[in-house]
Amino acid sequence: MKKTFLLFLLLFSLSTFAQNKSKQIEFTYANQKISGTLKNNFKNLIYEIEVKVDNKEVEKFLIEKMNDITIDNEAYISSLNDIDTNLSTNPSNFNNEPNPNFKKEWILLKFLVKGDYNLYSYELSNFTQFYFSSPTSKQIEPLIYKEYFINHRTTKANNQFQNQLYKDAPQPELGFLEYKKIEYKKDKLIKYFNKLNNYDLEKGITKTKFNFSIFGGVVLNKFDSNKIGRNTPQEALLYIIGYSENYYIKSTENYTSPTIGVAVEIPFSNKNQSAVFADASLSIYNQKFQIDRQYTENHPLGYSNINYELKSKVVLINAGYKHYFKIVENFEIYGEGGITLTNFINSKNIATWETENGKRSDSGFKSSTNFGGMLGVGLKFNNHYYVSARFKKPLETGNTMQIFTLGYTF
């Protein structure tokens, strides 16, 4: 139970780190150029912000006095505008009111499309509010959309934004009914405004990117054979050597085995600094013991050795979060963590020994699966090659694993 708690604590910490990683901000304030680290929750950019100015303490800045704003190299604008902070896509937060409860606040809006027709966004905890401006009206206005209850179990959407587009930012080739098909979604609206500005329709749209890799390396491990094989060495041999016999291990386990695998990685930050990943690898584990038997003078069998061997195919499946830190051009380090699934396939125990009637043997099979946790570090260079070191701890098999790999990303 304690190990399970520690694993989930690890995953929660990684998730929190992913969501709250620092964002760099630059802007002009009172005719001075300010740069530093944004300390606010990124989904609470209202009225004022807190910035840890480079090499200084945390300072507060009024949004209404900010100009020429970039956050992580993306353009923003300060605006006194309507905002309803209770808007949500979660039905548990819906009410019976069809219209947003707007209030005027100074907020930071992100540019999604910049041109004659501008599209902006503001991120709430569970909702993205879009805004627009057009040549006929330079004023930034909210595109109105709200889901609400019409009775205790039925919901409806206020799609007023469709009428706003038809009236103030129309595409001449679209008929009125076609505006009813426009969805209140980021990519859909970006394409709409790109077309208004005669841009490439896909401009500004982040597509899901998959990075595929192959890798090979070595696994350093020591398994508890009682957990992955049929018996422990002692249990497999006690009925042979007897409880009164003295025996000792002459040679120990084979700790090292080769491994090969494939991996997929999905970046999800605008600079590809953060990613989720999954990978699978195969290794062969081979554990050998040689046990010397020592007998009393009147023992009828004399002296003999017992050989014990455990063979297993080990399939490792991992999934988790990875974060990159750029050191210099074409060279990055990264940290990663996640959950691991260890599959022992057709584990075979073999014990062989000599008797007065010749060689004897005993064997058994077992397959098992165990969950665990994983932490790792790595180096990536030239955007394709990487080396990594991982530490894995399955929850139940009583073993640890260290894996060192060299990989190539296509």
- In this predicted structure, what is the pLDDT of residue 189? 95
pLDDT higher than threshold 70 for residue 15:
no
Q: What is the mean pLDDT of residues 85-91?
A: 90
- In this predicted structure, what is the pLDDT of residue 406? 94
Mean per-residue pLDDT of the chain: 80
pLDDT digits (tens, 9 = 90+) for 307-336: 777 777 888 899 999 999 888 777 889 999
- In this predicted structure, what is the pLDDT of residue 243? 35
Q: Which residues contact 330 (CB under 8 A, 6 or more apart)?
A: 381, 382, 383
Q: Comparing C-alpha atoms, which of 350, 341, 351 is closest to residue 315? A: 341
- In this predicted structure, what is the pLDDT of residue 170? 94
- In this predicted structure, what is the pLDDT of residue 178? 92
Which of the four pLDDT bands, split at 50, 70 and 90, describes residue 254?
low
- In this predicted structure, what is the pLDDT of residue 300? 47
Task: Report the b/e string of 228-241 with b at 16+ CB within 10 A.
Answer: bbbbbbeebbeebb
- In this predicted structure, what is the pLDDT of residue 14? 47
Which of the four pLDDT bands, split at 50, 70 and 90, describes residue 236?
very low
- In this predicted structure, what is the pLDDT of residue 244? 36
pLDDT higher than threshold 80 for residue 301:
no
- In this predicted structure, what is the pLDDT of residue 117? 95
pLDDT higher than threshold 70 for residue 224:
no
pLDDT digits (tens, 9 = 90+) for 282-291: 988 777 766 6
List Cα–Cα distances, 356 to 237, 243, 351, in angstroms: 17, 20, 17
Q: What is the mean pLDDT of residues 42-57?
A: 83
Phi, psi of 234 (to 5 degrees): -65, -45
- List Cβ<8 Å contacts ≥24 apart for 344-348: 344/228, 344/312, 344/313, 344/314, 344/368, 344/369, 344/370, 344/397, 345/312, 345/313, 345/314, 345/315, 346/312, 346/313, 347/228, 347/229, 347/230, 347/310, 347/311, 347/312, 348/229, 348/310, 348/311, 348/312
pLDDT higher than threshold 70 for residue 126:
yes
* C-beta neighbour count of 330 within 10 angstroms: 11
Q: What is the mean pLDDT of residues 258-283?
A: 87
pLDDT digits (tens, 9 = 90+) for 150-202: 988 899 999 999 999 999 999 999 988 999 999 999 999 999 999 999 998 88
Residues paired with residue 32 on neighbouring β-strands, in sequence order: 29
Q: Comparing C-alpha atoms, which of 98, 150, 81, 94 is closest to residue 127? A: 94
Which of the four pLDDT bands, split at 50, 70 and 90, describes residue 271?
low
- In this predicted structure, what is the pLDDT of residue 375? 93
pLDDT higher than threshold 70 for residue 376:
yes
Helices assigned H by DSSP within 197-285: 225-228, 233-241
pLDDT higher than threshold 80 for residue 350:
no
Would you report the helix, strand and coil content of the chain in percent, each value rounded to 5? 15, 55, 30
